[in-house]
Amino acid sequence: MQGPLIDTLARYGVSRRSFLKYCATLASMMALPPSAGRAMAEAMAAAPAAAKRPSVIWLPFQECTGCTESITRSHSPSIEGMIFDMVSLDYQETLMAAAGHQAEEALHNAMKENEGKYLLIVDGSVPLGLDGAYSCIAGKSNLEALKEVAKGAAAIVAMGSCAAYGGIPKANPNPTGAVSVSDVIKDKPIINIPGCPPIPVVMTGVLAHFLTFGSLPEMDKLGRPKAFYGETIHDRCYRRPFYDQGKFAKTFDDEGARKGWCLFELGCKGPVTYNACATVKWNGGTSWPVESGHGCLGCSEPDFWDGGGFYKALSMPADPLKVVAGAVAVGAAAGVAVSFANRAKKSGAKGGHETTTLADLEK
Amino acid sequence: MNEMQFLTWVRGTGLNIAVGIFLLGVIWRLIEIYSLGRKKDLSAPRNVPGASGWHTVFRRSMPPKDMGMVKKSPVSYIGGYVFHIGLAVVVFLFAPHIKFIESVVGLSWPGLPSQFVDLVAVITIAAMVVVLADRINKPVKRYLSTFEDWFTWTVTFLPVLTGWMAVQHLLLPYTTMLALHILSVEILLVVLPFTKLFHAFTVWGSRYYNGAVNGHKGVAV
């Protein structure tokens, strides 16, 4: 197997064998048949030279650049990073050298030259409030830019929870009127890669799938690739046996926490969060939030920010119970009122009672 | 509304509404029932009524000496015991439930391993299905059953079923099933004070009352 990518990888000191192993791992992570690993490797290795690489346009909207950071600093130098070498990242504000009208020119050229073929990656939510004035690039609102660029895209990747579901900008009370990409674009294939930020290998997995098969991988009903978001954090968590045994850390520094017991009572949202953190982990497999002692925040789920508090156990009330005193007072008043009504009825019946004498019975 | 918003709603607004109606109903009904009163019985008690009352509270939880009802209606008797004890174990000894109770009233106690609670839930579900089948099968029981009997069985059964299905990841994603589970508990809370399910609160009081009246009249129990 030869190709421009293999040469590039070799320059970085990554052997052909490592690359094949990576592709096989990627294929198995995505629950694809073994032959898919080789197909992926061949498709990616054969990716044409620089001038003809598949075009990718990355639009940043209401975001914090955390998604870009996650990909670019995953565990540098990474194969994830190098996968990006086989695409032509024609517009990415954080990474590109160009600025101002030159950057805009690059965007428009990429759109024109790759009409109908380019992959659009979006990170950040789209503000609809004040006609989109909350976030503009080159004098255009994010809404306008998204509609314009999405028109010629082959597919769209909503990268991170903001693009996928609105994320933190959409958190209550959503001052900018933030919405997700799929709320705006209805006529293009969209895949959501939620997470705050998402796991790099998920991104490269989806990219590799798109480049190999020309399509997006199988998705769940929230538009996420099933292979990575098919199971909950809780079900794959190494602390799960402690949950089953009823062993819970009560504080972040008690004996239970030191022994690695379950963090459910400290607010872990693992049971309702679908993501691959527990299996893929972060920073090259070093660790992940639950392993480092903090419960899962549920960042790959819609509206995780408004899920009733990060440090409240899932079985606890999301809001304080405010109605207790009122309900007891109203209940007591109702009880007393009904009691009086019953007593009135009773004394009414007593008053209306007619004495029956023996003579009456003999009539 | 997506499934996470649904879950947050049932954990927040929904829970507030349900707990509000539950408390309102419980206080209302307790005051109403205990204020009903009866004419004072002026006759001299034949036995000590209080002792008879207390005795009845416990005695009625024991099978009779001749095992009369156990033999006559074993399904109701044994099935009833099994599902009541099962409900108590599942509701009060499953760790997430204890966490809920602790967050609401501040009391907590150790829980049981989740696999054990899971087993008890299955036994409870089975016992409830058996008592329902018995109610349908026996002509007399069926004749005596009203809408309230079927309805209260359903609202008691659904929380157990949905809770178990959520834990087992059956039919629907966990998040949705968990939300449905909490919703079904909220329906139970709303319905409880206004149906025969209120026996959860009145059972001991009414047993004492029956025992005391009987004792007063001379039926030593």
Q: What is the CATH number of the domain that holds A75?
A: 3.40.50.700
Q: What's the pLDDT tens digit per position in B138-190?
A: 999 999 999 999 999 999 999 999 999 999 989 998 999 999 999 999 999 99
User: What secondary structure does DSSP assign to A244-283, as a single string?
Assistant: HHT-B-SSTTSHHHHTT-B-GGGT--GGG-B-SHHHH-BT
What pLDDT is stored for residue A73 in this prediction?
Answer: 67
- In chain A, residues with a C-beta closer than 8 Å to the C-beta of B167 are none
CB distance A302–B4 less than 8 Å? yes
Instruction: Please state, as a whole number, how many other Cβ atoms lie within 10 Å of the Cβ of residue A221.
Output: 9
pTM: 0.82
Taking contacts as CB-CB distances below 8 angstroms, the residues of chain B near A334 are: 24, 27-28
pLDDT: which is higher, B91 or A359 = B91
More confident residue, A85 or A318: A318
Contact B24 A334 (CB under 8 A): yes
DSSP secondary structure of A54-109 = PEEEEEE-B--SHHHHHHHTSSSS-HHHHHGGGSEEEEETTT-S--HHHHHHHHHH
Q: Are A96 and A106 in contact (CB under 8 A)?
A: yes
Rounded distance between C-alpha atoms, residue A278 and residue A237, angstroms:
5
Question: What percent of chain A is modeled with pLDDT above 90?
Answer: 55
For chain B, give every domain's residue range.
3-29+64-216
Q: How confident is the model at residue A76 (pLDDT cuts 50, 70, 90)?
A: very low
Closest-CA distance, A312 to chain B, in angstroms, reads: 9
At a CB cut-off of 8 Å and minimum separation 6, what does B68 contact?
none
Residues from chain B contacting residue A303 (CB–CB below 8 Å): 2, 4-5, 8
Same domain? A167 vs A243? no
What is the C-alpha to C-alpha distance for residues A349 and A352, in angstroms, rounded to an integer?
Answer: 5
- The alpha carbon of residue A127 is apart from the nearest alpha carbon of chain B, in Å, by 20
Among residues A228, A263, A289, the one where a domain terminates is: A228
Closest C-alpha to A80, from A35, A129, A44: A44
Nearest CA in chain B to A229: B173
**Would you call B174 and A272 a contact, using CB atoms and an 8 Å cutoff?**
yes
* pLDDT value of residue B4: 85
Is the Cβ pair B25, A331 closer than 8 Å? Answer: yes
What pLDDT score does A52 carry?
A: 63
Q: Which of B12, B27, B95 sits opposite A328 (nearest CB)?
A: B27
What pLDDT is stored for residue A80 in this prediction? 58
Average pLDDT, chain A: 87
Chain B residues whose CB is inside 8 A of the A322 CB are: 16
Instruction: Please tell me the distance from the alpha carbon of residue A234 to that of residue A116, in angstroms, as a whole number.
Output: 40
Does A204 share its domain with A292?
Answer: no
Measure in Å the smallest separation between the Cα of A131 and chain B Cα atoms.
Answer: 25
Domain assignment of residue A210, yes or no: yes
A60 plus A123 within the same structural domain: yes
pLDDT in tens, B55-66: 889 888 888 777
A27 plus A64 within the same structural domain: yes
A77, pLDDT greater than 60: no
CB–CB contact B175 A326 (8 Å): no
**Percent of chain B having pLDDT more than 90?**
68
Q: What is the pLDDT of residue A75?
A: 53
Question: Are A161 and A302 in the same domain?
Answer: no
CB contact under 8 A, A332 and B36: no
Architecture of domain B3-29+64-216: Up-down Bundle (1.20)
| Contact call for A314 and B178, based on CB within 8 A | yes
* CB within 8 Å of B102: residues ≥ 6 apart: B108
ipTM of the complex: 0.81
| A16 and A119 share one domain | yes
Using omega within 30 degrees of 0 as the cis cutoff, is the peptide bond preceding A173 cis?
yes
Q: In angstroms, what separates the C-alpha of B67 from chain A's closest C-alpha?
A: 39
- B19·A324 Cβ contact <8 A: yes
Q: Omega before A77 cis (within 30°)?
A: yes
Distance from CA of A78 to the nearest CA of B (A): 34
A245 with A224, same domain: the answer is no
- Measured between CA atoms, the residue of chain B closest to residue A300 is B4
- Going by their DSSP bridges, the two strands A153-159 and A190-193 should be labelled as parallel
Sorted by sequence, the CB contacts under 8 Å of residue A73 that are 6+ apart come out as none
Verify that A116 and A49 share a domain, yes or no: yes
A309: left (phi over 0), alpha (psi -120 to 50) or beta: left
Does residue A333 fall inside a structural domain?
no
Which of B23, B36, B178 lies at the smallest CB-CB distance from A327? B23
A331 inside domain: no
Q: List, in sequence order, the alpha helices (H) in A237-323.
A: 240-245, 255-258, 277-280
Task: Sort out which chain B residues have CB atoms less than 8 A from A319's CB and list them.
Answer: 11-13, 15-16
Compute the nearest-CA separation of A97 from chain B (Å): 40
List, for residues A137-190, the tens digit of each pLDDT value: 989 999 999 999 999 999 999 999 999 999 999 999 999 999 999 999 999 999
Q: Do B31 and A323 touch (CB under 8 A)?
A: no
Q: Which of A228, A248, A283 is the last residue of a domain?
A: A228
First CA to last CA across chain B, in angstroms?
58
Q: Is B165 on the interface with A (CB under 8 A)?
A: no
Confidence band of A360 (pLDDT split at 50, 70, 90)? confident
- Nearest-Cα distance to chain A for B93, in Å, is 10
- When CB atoms are compared, the residue of A243, A246, A331 closest to B28 is A331
pLDDT in tens, A34-57: 788 888 787 777 765 544 678 889
Domain that holds residue A259: 233-306
CB contact at 8 A, A209 and A217:
yes
* Tokens 């705050």, residue located: A196
Structure tokens at A122: 């979006």
Pair (A237, A210) in one structural domain: no
* Stretch A244-267: mean pLDDT: 93
- A52 and A24 part of one domain: yes
State the Cα–Cα distance between residues A124 and A184, nearest whole angstrom: 13
Contact state of B113 with A322 under an 8 Å Cβ cutoff: no
**Distance (Å, whole) CA B12 – CA A308:** 8
Of A184, A200, A228, the position where a domain reaches its end is A228
Q: How many CB pairs under 8 A join A and B?
A: 139
Q: Which of B4, B30, B113 sits opposite A335 (nearest CB)?
A: B30
Let me know: does A225 contact B95? Beta carbons within 8 Å.
no
Torsion of CA B87, B90, B96, B99, to 10 degrees: 60
What is the reported pLDDT for A51?
47
Q: How far is A167 from chain B (nearest CA, A)?
A: 13
Q: Are both A264 and A163 inside the same structural domain?
A: no
Are A303 and B8 a contacting pair at CB < 8 A?
yes
Phi, psi of A9, rounded to the nearest 5 degrees: -60, -40
Residue with tokens 């607004």: B13
CA dihedral sign, ordered A295, A217, A119, A182: negative
For chain B, give the percent of residues with pLDDT over 70.
99
> With a cut of 70, which residues of chain B have pLDDT below it?
220-221
Contact residues, chain A, for B95 at CB < 8 Å: 243, 246, 248, 264-265
Residues A275-293, mean pLDDT to the nearest whole number: 90
In a domain? residue A342: no
The verdict on B101 touching A (C-beta cutoff 8 Å) is no
Asked if A54 and A29 sit in the same domain, the reply is yes
Domain count for chain A: 2
Assigned domain for A322 exists: no
